[in-house]
Amino acid sequence: MARKPGRKTAAKTQTKAAVDASSSRQSTTELRNLISRLRLEQQHHIDSIAEIDQTLREFGPGGASSPSKGQRGRRKATETVLVSPKKGRGGRRKAAKAARARPTGTRRSSPAGKYSVTGQELILQFLKDKGGSTTEEIRKHWEESGRGSKAENYLTGLVQTGQLKRTKLPGREGSMYSVP
């Protein structure tokens, strides 16, 4: 037959059980608090994901407003974008500001493909008409035609491909270009 524990051993066991129960209650309370905080955080993330999904539906995954059928390419600089106010945080003032239509901006340089003649063709035709020109004359013609960037970029490319011949001007800055 098993021996009964002594009084001291039984008291220790009961005290230990009481401490375990007390700490168990505290850890249960802490666990409940943690769970409720995590649920609040989870709900915040779910709301944020819903807001992101709504934005993607409005503007498309590429970040730009998806054009309606038949209209492809870039928007014009004069078009306006209507911005819907964010839900949730912000307040009336921010929502009112965001709801106003704002222009997308103006462009300084002309978009690619605006001209009927490419930059290289422009320079080659100018040199064929004149029979040869200096860097300065080509640059002036380039700017008069309303081109952006620099004519020197195209001159270098044309010389490297052999479409132009470049000769240094003695005692002067710049070069003389001619069609070979």
| Domain definitions of the chain by residue range | 9-61+78-103, 119-178
Give, for 103, the enclosing helix (H) or strand (E). strand 102-103
The tokens of 139 are what?
A: 């640059």
119-178, CATH topology level: Arc Repressor Mutant, subunit A (1.10.10)
pLDDT of residue 77: 60
pLDDT tens readout for residues 92-105: 665 556 555 555 55
pLDDT tens readout for residues 115-165: 788 889 999 999 999 888 999 999 999 898 888 888 888 899 999 999 999
3-state secondary structure (DSSP) of residue 114:
coil
Between 1 and 21, where is the model more confident? 21
Prediction pTM value: 0.39
- Sign of the torsion formed by the C-alpha atoms of 166, 133, 126 and 114: positive
pLDDT tens readout for residues 31-76: 999 999 999 999 999 999 998 888 888 887 665 554 555 566 666 6
Cα–Cα distance, 159 to 161 (Å, whole number): 6
Q: Find all residues with CB under 8 Å of 64, minimum gap 6, and list them.
A: 75
pLDDT of residue 151: 87
Q: Backbone phi, then psi, for 31, in 5-degree steps?
A: -65, -40
Between 153 and 22, where is the model more confident? 153
CB 110 within 8 Å of CB 69: no
Between 15 and 114, where is the model more confident? 114
pLDDT of residue 177: 92
